[in-house]
Amino acid sequence: MTADSGHARPVDEPGNHPPGGLPGGLAETLRYGPFHRALHDAIAHRGLSLARLRAHLEQQGVQVGQSTLSYWQRGLRHPEVPRAIATVRALETVLRLPPDSLVSLVGNRPQQRPVRPAGWAPAAPVQSDFEVVTDVGANVDIEVLSVHDTVHIGPEREQRSISTRLVVRAAKAGPDRYLAVHQGDEGCLIDNALVRPGEGCRLGRLRRQPATRGLAFELLFDRRLAEGEEHVFSFTVVDDTGGPTPGHGRTFREPCRGYLLQLAFNRRALPARCTKQLRIDPDMPPVDLEELVCGLGGFASAYFEDVGPGTAGISVEWT
């Protein structure tokens, strides 16, 4: 996340374009793109933090997440047409850019994808498209609003359990279950993994796939949800037979408003490094967003706002 920081000079409020025009570098990127570079240069020229930029956009009547602005300026995401056009026009106003200077670049997606710098920790395993005999169109009528994963890691650096709490909303009347997928770490015995349902659900059908260390299972609600009804439920997967964990990642096939991931380390086995990562394309390596602090309590936490589609997680490097 980009934090609000101090500036050497005061930041002017949005208004008319400065009479001196734009600097040559910014004018060139506005003319030739790509969009994310032009946006980054324009934000830097105005001297605004993302928090201040978001506040100015709210004054224009535009609501947009700070993480979305961060993803846009890094090229991790691209504004969707036509839904985001009003937001891009508001950016032009706040950043004092000529009309349509950013809008004209929205259709020009960058040709190069961001590549993870060499030497960073290996990527956490991505949950695969686990094929399981189950109902066609699982979860299509459920909107995931929020997910909180807590991964407990033992003294031998092994993943011991993953506790998950979800907040979902029924897109239409009728859904009464949720299909979850788990992929174990290298070397685990997936046949030994256990699923313990918590609040708001009970365990339904379960399938294992030892070749891919995969586990798919149904979590049954106590009723059919009405359209627009929100439901909270939780469960824990106990899977402690793998080797040293490389971290944890969760795949989102649809957008989710908020994802909180916490790794709880045993104090006798603290990591050398933890990195917040995001993978937009399954065929590309993840992008390192920031290095995380593992506090005295042994927790490393990462929050993702407006995440998905893609995989969000924390990569772990051991000594």
Q: How many Cβ atoms are within 10 Å of 94's Cβ, its own excluded?
A: 24
* DSSP assignment string, 162-228: EEEEEEEEESSS---EEEEEEEPPTT--GGG-EEEE-TT-EEEEEEEEGGGTEEEEEEE-SSPPPTT
pLDDT (0 to 100) of residue 306: 87
* DSSP assignment string, 38-91: HHHHHHHHHT--HHHHHHHHHHTT----HHHHHHHHHTSS-PPTTTTHHHHHHH
Average pLDDT of span 106-113:
51
159-170 vs 142-153, strand pairing mode? antiparallel
Q: What is the pLDDT of residues 111-122, one digit of tens each?
A: 444 444 433 344
Set out the domains of the chain in order of their start, with CATH numbers: 24-105 (1.10.260), 142-317 (2.60.40)
Residues 34, 35, 37: CA angle, nearest 5 degrees: 70
pLDDT (0 to 100) of residue 73: 83
Type of residue at 117: P
309 pLDDT above the threshold of 70? yes
pLDDT (0 to 100) of residue 280: 82
Q: How high does pLDDT run on average in the chain? A: 82
Instruction: State the DSSP H helix or E strand holding residue 30, giving kind and residue range, or none if neither.
Output: helix 24-32
Give me the residues paired with residue 159 across strands. Answer: 153
Give me the residues paired with residue 233 across strands. Answer: 166
pLDDT (0 to 100) of residue 124: 43
For residue 316 the two structure tokens come to 């772990």
For residue 232 the two structure tokens come to 């909270």
Average pLDDT of span 258-272:
94
Q: What is the pLDDT of residues 39-50, one digit of tens each?
A: 988 998 888 888
What burial class does residue 134 get, using C-beta atoms within 10 Å of its C-beta: 0-12 exposed, 13-18 middle, 19+ buried? middle
With a CB cutoff of 8 Å and minimum separation 6, the contacts of 211 are none
Q: Of 152, 123, 154, nearest to 243 (Cα)?
A: 154
Instruction: Count CA within 13 A, CB hemisphere, residue 137.
Output: 4
- Count H helices and E strands in the chain, helices first: 5, 13
Percent of the chain whose predicted confidence (pLDDT) is above 70: 83
Is the model more confident about 283 or about 126? 283
Q: At what angle do helices 35-46 and 85-94 cross, to 10 degrees?
A: 30
pLDDT (0 to 100) of residue 224: 95
100 pLDDT above the threshold of 90? no
pLDDT (0 to 100) of residue 303: 94
283 pLDDT above the threshold of 60? yes
What whole-number distance in Å separates Cα of residue 235 and Cα of residue 164? 5
Average pLDDT of span 70-75:
80
pLDDT (0 to 100) of residue 118: 37
Q: Of 152, 149, 153, 151, nearest to 165 (Cα)?
A: 149
Q: What is the pLDDT of residues 128-183, one digit of tens each?
A: 444 444 444 678 899 999 999 999 999 999 999 999 999 999 999 999 999 999 99
